[in-house]
């Protein structure tokens, strides 16, 4: 059913407002990460946004004049460039960031006819491209934060990789210290995910305040907690259900998913199924994995598998 112009305008207005609040959240978060991990993180975030401005300007110039106003106001993929720094390891050379983002923008957005028509989440696609293309030439591991508080504002980079896989470090965090660990930024991490609880709360607010795929968010969070409980029960990993929701990159994945909610399913049943598929695959990539960015693959796989499962379900119900 086609939406009326008024309703479509309302939806776009809410989406723009959600973007505005997202950027207000990211600004202090990035400043906090800068203080923990050094100036290189801040430089990466600036380069990421500068690449976005460049892509926006080129796309605006290439548009025909009648489309310029609509393009500049509604259809550009700003979340790609604003959220990519969350997943940037400190070992990634800064000069690679523009190439990764430009190629990801062309593949994820331009090839599908523009922002809003794309199928894959562009941030997740950029991270996968980064991991597959540069993991052999750059260290994409988690990093230990700088010991003195706020010393990152005067230091270029923390530069010290974690001594052991993240899942072992997070497994050693007791449930009593879990919330404190998720807001202190004291644990080794991919820098943008040093503060897990704020990321989780930001994804919750964007989902429920702006009505962006609430059922998907609930299914993803509940599924992650459930599968973590199962892992703990069978001694696969000794963690609480809240561990993967507060430590690691799952909170950031929830945020990029809700920020770019047009790539998530619309129907209630598909939202529930999609959230559960993502949760199951995310735990699969977390359990005893040495790759801190592994759950990003789970997110893209869930986006691919859901339409296939939906089609199979429809065919089975017809029979």
Quote the crossing angle between the two packed helices 5-37 and 250-259, to the nearest 10°: 150
Q: Tell me: the pLDDT tens digits for 183-217?
A: 998 888 899 999 999 999 999 999 999 888 999 99
Spatial distance between the Cα atoms of 111 and 116, rounded to a whole number of angstroms = 12
Residue with tokens 């599968």: 227
User: Does pLDDT of 119 surpass 60?
Assistant: yes
- Residue 17, pLDDT score: 76
Q: What is the pTM of this model?
A: 0.88
Assess contact for 218 and 224: CB atoms under 8 A: no
CA atoms within 13 A on the CB side of 279: 26
The two three-digit tokens of residue 226, written as one number: 């459930």
Does position 9 have pLDDT exceeding 60, yes or no? no
More confident residue, 133 or 177: 177
Q: What is the rounded average pLDDT for all residues in the chain? A: 84
Does 71 have pLDDT greater than 60? no
Looking at mean pLDDT, say which of 21-25, 111-115, 146-150 comes out highest: 21-25
Query: Which of 50-59, 143-152, 162-171, 287-296 is modeled with the greatest confidence?
Result: 50-59
* 187 CB-side CA count, 13 A: 27
The phi and psi torsions of 88 (rounded to 5 degrees) equal -85, 115
CATH code for the structural domain at 5-318: 1.10.3430
Residue 7 pLDDT class (50, 70, 90 cuts): very low
Report the b/e string of 128-140 with b at 16+ CB within 10 A: bbbbeebbeeeeb
Confidence grade of residue 74 (pLDDT, cut at 50, 70, 90) = low
Are 258 and 188 in contact, with CB atoms under 8 Å apart? no
Average pLDDT estimate for 64-74: 56
pLDDT score recorded for residue 10 = 39
Nearest Cα neighbor of 51 from 91, 15, 100 is 100
Rounded Cα–Cα distance for residues 182 and 180 (Å): 5
Helix ranges, the chain (H): 5-37, 39-62, 65-74, 78-83, 96-108, 122-134, 166-171, 178-184, 196-209, 214-233, 243-246, 250-259, 268-286, 295-318
Distance separating alpha carbons of residues 67 and 193, to the nearest angstrom: 38
Q: Report CA torsion sign: 83, 161, 292, 249.
A: negative
Domain ranges of the chain: 5-318
What contacts 259, CB < 8 A, 6 or more positions away? 18, 19, 22, 79, 83, 206
């Amino acid at each position: 059913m086609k939406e009326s112009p008024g309703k479509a305008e309302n939806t776009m207005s809410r989406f723009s407002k959600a973007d505005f609040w997202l950027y207000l959240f990211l600004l202090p978060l990035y400043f906090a990460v800068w203080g923990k991990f050094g100036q290189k993180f801040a430089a990466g975030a600036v380069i990421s946004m500068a690449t976005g401005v460049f892509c926006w300007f080129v796309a605006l110039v290439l548009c025909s004049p009648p489309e310029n106003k609509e393009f500049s106001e509604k259809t550009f993929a700003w979340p790609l460039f604003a959220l990519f720094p969350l997943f940037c390891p400190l070992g990634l050379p800064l000069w690679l960031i523009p190439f990764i983002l430009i190629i990801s923008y062309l593949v994820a957005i331009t090839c599908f006819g523009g922002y809003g028509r794309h199928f894959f989440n562009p941030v997740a696609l950029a991270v996968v491209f980064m991991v597959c293309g540069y993991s052999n030439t750059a260290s994409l591991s988690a990093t230990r934060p700088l010991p003195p508080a706020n010393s990152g504002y005067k230091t270029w980079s923390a530069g010290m990789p974690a001594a052991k896989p993240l899942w072992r470090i997070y497994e050693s965090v007791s449930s009593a210290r879990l919330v404190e660990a998720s807001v202190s930024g004291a644990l080794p991490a991919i820098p943008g995910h040093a503060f897990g609880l704020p990321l989780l709360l930001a994804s919750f607010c964007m989902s429920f305040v702006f009505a962006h795929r609430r059922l998907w968010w609930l299914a993803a969070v509940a599924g992650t907690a459930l599968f973590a409980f199962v892992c703990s029960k069978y001694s696969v990993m000794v963690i609480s259900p809240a561990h993967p929701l507060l430590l690691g990159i799952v909170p950031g994945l929830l945020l990029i998913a809700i920020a770019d909610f047009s790539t998530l399913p619309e129907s209630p049943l598909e939202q529930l199924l999609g959230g559960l598929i993502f949760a199951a695959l995310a735990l699969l990539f977390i359990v005893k994995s040495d790759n801190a960015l592994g759950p990003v693959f789970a997110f893209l796989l869930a986006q691919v598998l859901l339409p296939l499962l939906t089609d199979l379900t429809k065919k089975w119900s017809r029979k």
